[in-house]
Amino acid sequence: MDDLDLRDLSAFAAVARHRNFRRAALEQRVSVSTLSERVRALEERLGLRLLNRTTRSVAPTEAGQRLLDRLAPALREVVEAVAQVRGAADDPSGRLRINAPPPAAQLVLAPLVAGFLERFPRVTLEVVTDSALIDIVAEGFDAGVRYEEHLAQDMIAVPLGPPERYVIVASPALLAAHGVPRTPEDLRDRPCLTTRFRSGRQLPWEFEKDGQTLRIQPEARLSSTLTALLIQAAIDGAGFFLAFEGHVRDVVADGRLVTVLDDWCPPFPGPFLYYPSRRQPPPALAAFVAYVAERRRSAGW
């Protein structure tokens, strides 16, 4: 067994945890094909199938689950040991520039920044919010934040936050006047409030249930680039609004807004921190990536 490669073991553990080759490849910073080859090489060396694969799903076999249960703590120890040695050798300093869409900056980055700056007092952090898809290298950013469907293939990407969810909200008064929608189609003839990007673009509202996906483009009674304005308009009864759950959690909890169509609004992967592939990223960026990984482990997402 002394011909086993640590990279193969790490590749298998990532796929088994995510149950998805693409997400595991993003974490491992390799291509999906490279990841698949490493897992296959490990299975051949062991003479065991470790993963059951279909076109729709990936899951560890019984042997694979036993290996993962023993392997995961050991790999964490290796990563932490290397991080500790690196931390002792380096004293990160300088400016770290991150570009992020406003929801990710508010809901995911904001809870991280104070702890990071306290840990690394010589780092200066600059966060610029922008909903447009920009070239972070050309614009002088060290890293960006985007959701999975907008990640460029030549970037390294690491999960930045736990799964998120959209919700449809409305005021109790609006529901009393227009009724509670039972399906997304019911929203077509009801007043709606929509987010409009600076480019003028408005994204369709997407719903999913029992494998069925529906997209509707509601008629906007009010549209805005400002989320706070739309939430207040929803509270005042102006229309139904599609919002990040984190943006409306407090006003739903106190009864000013009510969620509807919850069974059509499943969670989806949270945003990713992405940055150019480099052998040695700037110390401030490397420190932030390590800090995010630590928070991810402690929070269990």
Specify the 3-state DSSP secondary structure of 246.
Answer: helix
Q: Which amino acid is at 265?
A: C
Which amino acid type is present at position 101? Answer: P
Specify the fold of 92-162+270-299. D-Maltodextrin-Binding Protein; domain 2 (3.40.190)
Least confident window among 64-73, 88-97, 184-193, 270-279: 88-97
CA distance 162 to 169: 22
pLDDT of 136-145, one tens digit each?
Answer: 888 889 999 9
**pLDDT on residue 1:** 47
Q: Tell me how far apart the terminal alpha carbons of the chain are, to the nearest angstrom.
A: 32
Q: What is the pTM of this model?
A: 0.64
Tell me the average pLDDT of the chain.
Answer: 89
| pLDDT one-digit tens code per residue, 57-88 | 889 999 989 998 988 888 888 877 776 666 54
Question: Which of 212, 196, 158, 182 lies closest to 14, judged by CA?
Answer: 158
Distance CA 200, CA 268 (A): 25
The amino acid present at 40, given as its one-letter code, is R
Provide the CATH topology of domain 6-87.
Answer: Arc Repressor Mutant, subunit A (1.10.10)
Q: What pLDDT shows up at residue 298?
A: 82
Q: Are 265 and 166 in contact (CB under 8 A)?
A: yes
CATH number for domain 166-264, candidates 2.40.30.30, 3.40.50.150, 3.40.190.290, 3.40.50.12280: 3.40.190.290
Q: Would you say 273 and 155 are in contact if contact means Cβ atoms under 8 Å apart?
A: no
What would the pLDDT profile of 220-237 be if each residue is shown by its tens digit?
A: 999 998 999 999 999 999
Task: Let me know: does 68 contact 13? Beta carbons within 8 Å.
Answer: yes
Ranges of each domain in the chain: 6-87, 92-162+270-299, 166-264
- The 3-class secondary structure across 117-164, one letter per residue, is HHHCCCEEEEEEECCCCCCCCCCCCCEEEECHHHCCCCEEEEECCCCE
**What are the tens digits of pLDDT across the range 144-159?**
998 876 676 678 888 8
Q: What pLDDT, on the 0 to 100 scale, is given for residue 278?
A: 65
Q: Hey, do 6-87 and 92-162+270-299 end up sharing a CATH topology, with the first three levels equal?
A: no
